[in-house]
Structure 1
Amino acid sequence: MCHLARALARNVPMPFSRSVVGTTMANACLLGVLLFTQSTSNADWPVFRGDANASGAVTVKLPAELEELWTYSAKDGDSEGGFEGTAAIANGIVYVGDFDGTFHAVDLKTGEKKWTKRFEDTGFLAATTIAGKHLYLGDYNGIVRCLSTEDGSEVWQYDTKSEVNAAVNVHGEAVLVTTEGGSLLSLDKATGDNRWEYTIDSPLRCWPTVVKNRVLLAGCDGVLHAVDVEKGKQLDTVSIEGPTGCTPAVMKGRAYFGTEDGNFFAVQLDPLEIAWKYRDTKRSSGVRTAAALTKDIVVFGSQGKKVYAINPEKGEPLWEFPTRSRVESSPLIVGKFAFFGTVRGRLYLVDLKSSEEVWQLNTGGSFIASPAVSDERIVIGNTDGTLYCFGRAETGIEIN
């Protein structure tokens, strides 16, 4: 989701009247510019939307009927918390924090606990980021931590002094963090030292997408900001007419995201200017999900109980799918299907061309977290503290 609803649930003051609310890639790529695009089911999921461009899309083929391979309960890790943050996956291990302050490492094949790490008086609402042998994540007290993937031991921590609701991004030697206080921080990956800080007058709740040495920030101030990733200086801005916490997804020199005012934008990046704007004229509702994006289609959910598919080049609607519930979990494009969850605990698999429902499951709870994919499996957690793994019983997801 865009992390805006999370703030509302805890009565965090909002800067506007309407309700608003971020993962294989070889380790060498993570240490570099993160230009990887996931293309096989054997790839890991190290960042919030799977790759550096936040595409939320993988080129694998699902079976006609998804099967539940396993479930893991936060209670197995001695926690009463639920899952709102999206899992990260690497080397066959699922890493995810819950909102009761426990961090979990779970075996992707079996669903068995590898280890847990308890942090007192806090909770995790944001997705986890993996870079090499370390995990990076922020909590709702504003503490950013670097943990070991081996056992969860803490390498360093940094206090931002403001709630962190979005996943951090690791770019080269920098850890990029957005905060409720309106800051974009660049921390040293090895030490946690503050390298620079860029601030706006409203909350920042999006994952900081990096493209060509520029950090893209869709802000609650109704502006898309482009910031120099090395120096923290503003390079460009463009009005997006309303607040948002949605993560910009990038493809072919454009960023795609929605706003709380019900608009969905494609923004040309060089220079920043609006390429097109889509709005449902019949029932416009706020957008709190990141978009899933390929060269042929962009898919996003809304507060109006619909999932939309748009032509990314022209902004023309392709279809809309009624969900009977709000969608705050960001959709995933998997081969020829879209996979997504709703706040009423339903999971859907929808054909991208026909918009027909091919599978659904009512799990209970609520899906705020977004799905992650690795090793031919889809993993998603819900607010009742259950982590689900789906695929084909014998072999997981079938490769194209």
Structure 2
Amino acid sequence: MNRRSTSTRRRWLAACGSASVGIAGLSGCTGSDDSNDENGSSDPAGTGEEPDESGTEGVHNGSSGESWPMARFSANNGMVTDEWSGPDGPLEERWTVEIEDGEVSGPVVGHGFVYVADETSTLHAIDLTTGDVEWTYEPELPPETPPNPQWEPTTPAVTDDTVYFLTETLYALKPETGDVLWSVELGSLYSGDIRVYDGIVYVHNDGKLYAVDIEEQSIIWEERVNAVQDIAVGSDGSLYVSHKTNSGHDYEVVGFDVEKEEQIWAYSPSGNFDTGRELLVHDGTVYTHELDTVLAIDGETGEEATMAVYNKDDSESVVAGRAPTIANEIIYSAGVFDQPAVLTRELTTRQEPPTWDSNMPISGPTGRRIFVSKNSLYVWRGYGYVDLNVLNPETGEQRWSFDVRDHQDMVRGMVQGYAILVDSIIYSIDGNYSVIGALETA
């Protein structure tokens, strides 16, 4: 029997018409503006569409900016949209919610709710407008689970008709109530990742990779890969995985054809490289950072190419483990402390864009992935990554900033994740307690 609590107010304040994200697939949202479905999808079967990845259109397709479906926005970890810009600064708080049960995940947004998981394996659904906790879902854990379990929570995922939540089981929940639609047992309570695309939920969970068919509600593929760091999905459904090797001293990127149930290729650098943790798939190519190098790996062959090399004069260094973001034919990389917070190279020329001011005053360290909207670049920086800076994505000029520390009385704090919407910014932060916050234009 599942243990769950649901508030008396089960209001679905916003339809999912906004939850149509291209490469994310959203297992059903097609991005059609003329849909008659109340969820904003013309694909009630939940199989998703098959967009390409060329430019921003392939990463985001048709959302009105009221949803943030996955941990890194889309199944290819795209972190870019040309559909909206986000709220203008200066910002003020719309609401905050304190979560006392330890660490929380990053937020995802859909159906008028903010969804976050905590380390006690509880999922919280927060009203996007008011900040009221509308419902929580606390699954029954295995009998061998120790008292007061505490695990690093996995960021959930939300589609046009489902919220996906991970413990030792993948749960598919009804977004407006938290009722269980179906579930698939995976076998471990360790944290992982969830990506949803084209009718399939891709999961990594304690050294195992899974592809779960949404229609069949069952595992259709699984593979053991130890020490997984990140997963990303290509537009053809290929699954790309980065993981540690050689007792953590090296890393490897592997491409899988899930439909054929086979490994396509594996890339492993020569020498010891303790980076390459996060991945981005753009236009059929897998991008990562290998130390201070922007590396591009062909999604079909696994052949690698160097796109940029930083830190030649000790003045520009990339934050270890963060994948780049590609928008406007520019590669954006996160910089380290006391150096430029954002490093750029043109995708075609591999040179710094002529309009970019490399002497911009903002310095790192830059945390979380960079997000680029229609005309804004969002970067979280400083100790704990609590200082949000919004830049011009063409010039690097700062437009405005917001420091979470000015509004949260915490002994310490680190931003765990965020969501940029049309009229608000949602963030989660861990400190001596955890906070979910919503910001809007003052």
Q: Do they superpose with TM above 0.5?
A: yes
CA deviations 1:201-243 (Å, max 9, x no partner) are: x411213323313111122232221101223310122235534
Alpha-carbon distance in 1 for matches of 2:413, 2:269: 29
State the 1:34 CA deviation: 5.6
- Cα contact 1:288–1:328 (8 A) shared by 2: no
Matched letter for residue 439 of structure 2: F
- CA RMSD, 1 decimal: 3.0
CA deviations 1:87-114 (Å, max 9, x no partner) are: 2211221111123433211122222222
Aligned to 1:147: 173
Aligned to 1:187: 212
Matched, 1:24 2:20: yes
- Cα contact 1:341–1:367 (8 A) shared by 2: no
SS of residue matched to 2:396: coil
Q: Which of 295, 301, 323 pairs up with 2:334?
A: 301
Return closer, same or farther for 1:229/1:302 CA change in 2, 3 Å cut-off. Answer: farther
Matched, 1:133 2:161: yes
Bigger RCO of structures 1 and 2 (CA < 8 A, at least 6 apart): 1
- Cα contact 1:331–1:371 (8 A) shared by 2: no
Aligned to 1:237: 266
- Cα contact 1:44–1:375 (8 A) shared by 2: no
Deviates more, 1:104-113 or 1:297-306: 297-306
- Cα contact 1:287–1:302 (8 A) shared by 2: no
State the 1:145 CA deviation: 2.9
Whose Rg is larger? Answer: 2
Residue pairs, 1:91-106, within 5 angstroms: 91-106=111-126
Alpha-carbon distance in 2 for matches of 1:165, 1:302: 26
Deviates more, 1:29-38 or 1:308-317: 29-38
Alpha-carbon distance in 2 for matches of 1:151, 1:264: 43
Return closer, same or farther for 1:304/1:314 CA change in 2, 3 Å cut-off. Answer: farther
State the 1:157 CA deviation: 4.4
Alpha-carbon distance in 2 for matches of 1:317, 1:125: 38
Q: Which of 258, 261, 276 pairs up with 2:289?
A: 258
Matched letter for residue 106 of structure 1: I
Return closer, same or farther for 1:303/1:392 CA change in 2, 3 Å cut-off. Answer: same
- Cα contact 1:48–1:88 (8 A) shared by 2: yes
Return closer, same or farther for 1:240/1:152 CA change in 2, 3 Å cut-off. Answer: farther
Return closer, same or farther for 1:196/1:153 CA change in 2, 3 Å cut-off. Answer: same
- Cα contact 1:225–1:238 (8 A) shared by 2: yes
Aligned to 1:380: 427
State the identity as a percent. 17
Alpha-carbon distance in 2 for matches of 1:354, 1:231: 45
Return closer, same or farther for 1:388/1:34 CA change in 2, 3 Å cut-off. Answer: farther
Aligned to 2:234: 210
State the 1:329 CA deviation: 1.2
- Cα contact 1:209–1:247 (8 A) shared by 2: no
State the 1:192 CA deviation: 5.5
Matched, 1:327 2:351: no
Deviates more, 1:225-234 or 1:290-299: 290-299
Return closer, same or farther for 1:39/1:323 CA change in 2, 3 Å cut-off. Answer: farther
Aligned to 1:174: 200
Alpha-carbon distance in 2 for matches of 1:209, 1:366: 31
TM-score by length of 2: 0.71
State the 1:354 CA deviation: 2.2
Alpha-carbon distance in 1 for matches of 2:152, 2:178: 14
Alpha-carbon distance in 1 for matches of 2:388, 2:134: 26
Aligned to 2:299: 269
Q: Which of 384, 387, 402 pairs up with 1:346?
A: 387
- Cα contact 1:185–1:198 (8 A) shared by 2: yes
Alpha-carbon distance in 2 for matches of 1:209, 1:321: 34
Aligned to 2:14: none
- Cα contact 1:34–1:51 (8 A) shared by 2: no
CA deviations 1:50-70 (Å, max 9, x no partner) are: 234322112223455242241
- Cα contact 2:336–2:365 (8 A) shared by 1: yes
Alpha-carbon distance in 2 for matches of 1:323, 1:285: 15
- Cα contact 1:158–1:193 (8 A) shared by 2: no
State the 1:81 CA deviation: 2.8
SS of residue matched to 2:430: coil
Aligned to 2:248: none
User: How many residues align structurally?
Assistant: 361
Matched letter for residue 163 of structure 1: Y
State the 1:184 CA deviation: 1.6
Matched letter for residue 329 of structure 2: D
- Cα contact 1:68–1:391 (8 A) shared by 2: yes
Aligned to 2:441: 392
Aligned to 1:12: none
SS of residue matched to 1:382: strand
Alpha-carbon distance in 1 for matches of 2:322, 2:362: 14
Point out 4+ residue stretches in structure 1 off by more than 6 angstroms: none
Alpha-carbon distance in 2 for matches of 1:144, 1:192: 10
Return closer, same or farther for 1:310/1:380 CA change in 2, 3 Å cut-off. Answer: farther
State the 1:356 CA deviation: 2.3
Return closer, same or farther for 1:340/1:125 CA change in 2, 3 Å cut-off. Answer: farther
Q: Which of 376, 392, 396 pairs up with 1:355?
A: 396
Aligned to 1:89: 109
SS of residue matched to 1:208: strand
Residue pairs, 1:305-316, within 5 angstroms: 306-316=341-351
CA deviations 1:26-58 (Å, max 9, x no partner) are: 734462256361455445222223234322112
- Cα contact 1:340–1:370 (8 A) shared by 2: no
- Cα contact 1:61–1:334 (8 A) shared by 2: yes
